[in-house]
C-alpha cells in the first residue's frame, strides 16, 4: 500500500468513471462504421460475391440509417469506396476521432460449405502468454499516446500492478462491447434467421487497437450457398443494416439518456430485387471465383497440433520495444530470444501458405524476411511443422 498503488487505483477509477460518465446530452455520440477489407484485399469470396462488396454496401446502408434517424449521432466511415485501408489506420481513425463505438462489418468463409450463420465478436485477450505480452505492449502504447508516462513520474506499464489496471481498463470497454454485441447479434438473427453462432471473444487486431467499445460482425458465410444467396440481395442487405441499426439504437438508448425508437422513422429506400444478377453470372466467371480465403482479420484461428507459422523479418542484439514506431502496421507483431539475438516476427498463421501471404506483404520493407514455425512456444523447422499438420 504505497503511493504507487494509490495512483494506480485513481487511474482505474478514472478509466471506469470515464466510461460511465462519458455520454452527455451536448456532445455528439460518434460511431465509426468499418467496412471490412477493400481495394486489393477482397476478403473472402463466395461463388457470386466478394466480402469487401457486401461489407461496404451494408456499412453505407447502416450509416445512412443512423444519419437520417439519430440527430445526435455522428457517423464516421473508415472507407466509403472500394479502397484498401490498413488495419492500424482503421483503429487510428476511430481513436483520433474519439469515437464512442466502433462497428466492423465482415463476412465469413469456411472450407466446409455447410457452415453458416451470424456471429458477433468482441475483443478478448489471446490465450497464449506470448500474445498477451503483445497485447500488454500495445496497451502501453495507448497510454504513451495519451502522455500518461510524462504526466505520472515513475509509472511503468509493464509492472504487475499495471496489468491489474489493464484488466480493468479493457473490461470497462468489454462490458459495453458485450452489451452492444448481444443487442446486434439478437437483432440480426431475428431478421435473417441464419444459425445463431452467438457472441464470441477473440483477439482481433482491429478491435484490440481501438480504445472504445467495439464489435466485429460476421454477417454470414459467403461459402454457404443459402447465406450467400441472402447476402447478395440488396433488399436483404437493407434488412441486415436495419437489424444492426436497431441493435445500435437499443445500445445508444442504454448508455445515453436518449429514448429513440429502435425502428427507423426514415427507413432505407426500397431497392429493386437484384437476385437475378447472381444467376446471370456465367460459368467461366463462377470457376474463377471459387477461392474462399480466410479473413486476414481473424487472429485466433484453428491451430492444428498447436502449430504456428510466422514471418521473421528482423533480428537485433538489442531489444527493441514492440511499441517502437518502426513496427507500425506489422500484423500480430511478436518477438523471441534465440542465440543472443532478439528476433521479430509478424503474423500468427495456421498454415505456411497463410504465412506466405504476410511474407509477400513484408518483402518490400524487409527483403530478407522468411517463414519460421513453432509448436506452442517451441521453435521447430517449417518441414517439421508441415509434417505435424499432416498427422
Ligand atoms: Zn473479413
Q: How far is the CA of 297 from the centre of ligand 1 (A)?
A: 6
149 is written with which cell numbers? 508516462
State the distance from the centre of ligand 1 to the C-alpha of 375, rounded, in angstroms: 26
Which of 74, 102, 71 minimizes the C-alpha distance to 260? 71
- Please tell me the distance from the alpha carbon of residue 82 to that of residue 35, in angstroms, as a whole number: 10
Which cell goes with 304?
492444428
pTM for this model (two decimals)? 0.58
CB 366 within 8 A of CB 330: no
Q: Round to whole Å and give the CA distance between 232 and 278.
A: 8
**CA–CA separation, 367 and 195 (whole Å):** 44
Q: How far is CA 103 from CA 4, 142, 253, 352, in A?
A: 36, 20, 17, 31
Answer for the pair 234, 174: CB distance below 8 angstroms, yes or no. Answer: no
Give me ligand 1 centre to Cα 160, in Å.
35
Confidence at residue 26, expressed as pLDDT on a 0 to 100 scale: 63
At 80, give phi and psi (nearest 5°).
-120, -5
CA of 188 to the centre of ligand 1 (A): 17
What is the model's pLDDT at position 158? Answer: 55
Specify whether the CB–CB gap between 184 and 250 falls below 8 A: no
If you measure from the C-alpha of residue 336 to the centroid of ligand 1, how many angstroms do you get, rounded to a whole number? 29
CA of 298 to the centre of ligand 1 (A): 8
Q: Using the mean position of ligand 1's atoms as its centre, give its distance from the Cα of residue 139 in Å.
A: 24
Residue linked to cell 516476427: 345
3-state secondary structure of 239: helix
What per-residue confidence (pLDDT) applies to 124? 56
Distance from the CA of 41 to the center of ligand 1, in angstroms? 9
Centre of ligand 1 to C-alpha 120, Å, is 12
CA of 259 to the centre of ligand 1 (A): 33
Distance (Å) from CA 295 to ligand 1 centroid: 5
Please tell me what DSSP assigns to residue 45. Answer: B
Query: Residue 270 C-alpha to ligand 1 middle, in angstroms?
Result: 27
Domains annotated on the chain, with CATH: 3-289 (3.40.630.40), 304-390 (3.30.70)
The list of the chain residues with pLDDT below 50 reads 1-3, 5-25, 125-155, 157, 165-166, 169, 273-300
Compute the distance between CA of residue 264 and CA of residue 90 in angstroms, rounded to an integer: 27
Edge-to-edge strand list for the sheet holding 214-221: 73-77, 29-35, 101-108, 214-221, 118-123, 196-202
- What is the structure's pLDDT at 339? 76
**C-alpha dihedral, 301 to 305 to 311 to 314, nearest 10°:** 120
pLDDT tens string 179-231: 999 999 999 999 999 999 998 876 555 566 677 888 999 999 999 999 999 99
CB 355 within 8 A of CB 310: yes
Copy the grid coordinates of residue 259: 429514448
C-alpha 7/C-alpha 24 separation (Å) is 27
Predicted pLDDT at 301? 66
| Ligand 1 centroid – CA 43 distance (Å) | 5
Q: What's the Cα-to-Cα distance from 146 to each of 19, 155, 164, 306, rounded to whole Å?
A: 16, 13, 19, 37
The C-alpha cell of 36 is what? 471490412
**CA 70 to ligand 1 centroid distance, Å:** 27
Dmax (CA) of the chain: 72
Q: Each residue of 314-343: b (16+ CB within 10 Å) or e? A: bbeeeeeebbeeebeebbbbbbbeeeeeeb
- pLDDT at position 159, please? 55
| Contact status, residue 102 vs residue 215, Cβ threshold 8 Å | yes
Q: Which residues are within 5 Å of ligand 1 (an ion), measured at CB? A: 36, 43, 106, 295, 297
- How long a stretch of residues is the chain? 391
Distances in Å between the Cα of 381 and the Cα atoms of 131, 351, 357, 388 are: 21, 13, 19, 11
3-state per-residue secondary structure call for 254-309: HHCCCCCCCCCCCCCCCCCCCHHHHHHCCHHHHHHHCCCCCCCCCCCCCCHHHEEE
Amino acid at each position: 500500500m504505497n503511493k504507487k498503488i494509490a495512483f494506480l487505483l485513481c487511474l482505474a477509477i478514472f478509466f471506469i468513471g470515464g466510461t460511465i460518465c462519458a455520454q452527455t446530452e451536448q456532445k455528439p455520440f460518434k460511431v465509426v462504421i468499418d467496412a471490412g477489407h477493400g481495394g486489393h484485399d477482397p476478403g473472402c469470396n463466395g461463388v457470386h460475391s466478394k466480402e469487401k462488396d457486401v461489407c461496404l454496401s451494408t456499412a453505407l446502408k447502416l450509416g445512412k440509417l443512423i444519419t437520417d434517424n439519430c440527430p445526435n449521432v455522428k457517423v464516421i466511415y473508415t472507407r466509403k469506396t472500394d479502397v484498401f485501408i490498413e488495419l492500424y489506420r482503421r483503429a487510428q481513425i476511430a481513436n483520433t476521432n474519439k469515437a464512442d463505438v466502433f462497428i466492423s462489418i465482415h463476412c465469413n468463409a469456411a472450407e466446409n460449405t455447410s457452415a453458416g450463420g451470424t456471429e458477433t465478436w468482441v475483443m478478448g485477450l489471446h490465450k497464449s502468454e506470448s500474445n498477451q505480452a503483445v497485447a500488454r505492449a500495445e496497451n502501453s502504447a495507448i497510454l504513451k499516446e495519451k502522455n500518461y508516462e510524462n504526466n505520472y513520474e515513475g509509472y511503468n506499464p509493464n509492472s504487475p500492478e499495471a496489468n491489474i489496471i489493464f484488466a480493468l481498463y479493457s473490461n470497462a470497454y468489454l462490458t459495453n462491447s458485450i452489451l452492444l454485441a448481444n443487442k446486434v447479434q439478437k437483432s440480426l438473427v431475428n431478421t435473417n434467421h441464419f444459425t445463431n453462432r452467438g457472441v464470441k471473444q477473440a483477439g482481433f487486431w482491429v478491435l484490440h487497437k481501438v480504445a472504445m467499445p467495439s464489435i466485429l460482425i460476421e454477417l454470414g458465410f459467403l461459402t454457404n450457398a443459402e447465406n450467400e444467396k441472402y447476402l447478395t440481395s440488396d433488399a436483404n442487405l437493407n434488412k441486415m443494416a436495419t437489424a444492426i441499426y436497431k441493435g445500435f439504437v437499443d445500445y445508444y438508448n442504454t448508455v445515453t439518456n436518449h429514448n429513440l425508437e429502435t425502428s427507423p422513422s426514415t427507413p432505407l429506400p426500397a431497392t429493386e430485387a437484384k437476385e437475378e444478377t447472381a444467376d446471370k453470372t456465367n460459368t467461366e466467371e463462377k470457376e474463377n471465383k471459387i477461392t474462399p480465403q480466410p479473413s486476414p482479420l481473424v487472429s485466433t484461428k484453428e491451430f492444428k497440433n498447436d502449430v504456428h507459422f510466422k514471418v521473421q523479418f528482423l533480428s537485433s542484439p538489442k531489444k527493441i520495444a514492440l511499441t517502437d514506431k518502426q513496427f507500425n502496421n506489422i500484423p500480430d507483431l511478436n518477438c523471441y530470444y534465440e542465440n543472443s539475438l532478439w528476433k521479430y516476427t509478424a503474423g500468427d498463421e495456421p498454415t505456411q501458405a497463410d504465412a506466405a501471404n504476410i511474407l509477400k506483404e513484408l518483402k518490400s520493407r524487409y527483403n530478407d524476411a522468411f517463414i519460421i514455425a513453432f509448436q506452442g512456444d517451441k521453435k521447430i523447422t517449417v518441414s517439421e511443422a508441415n509434417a505435424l499438420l499432416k498427422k
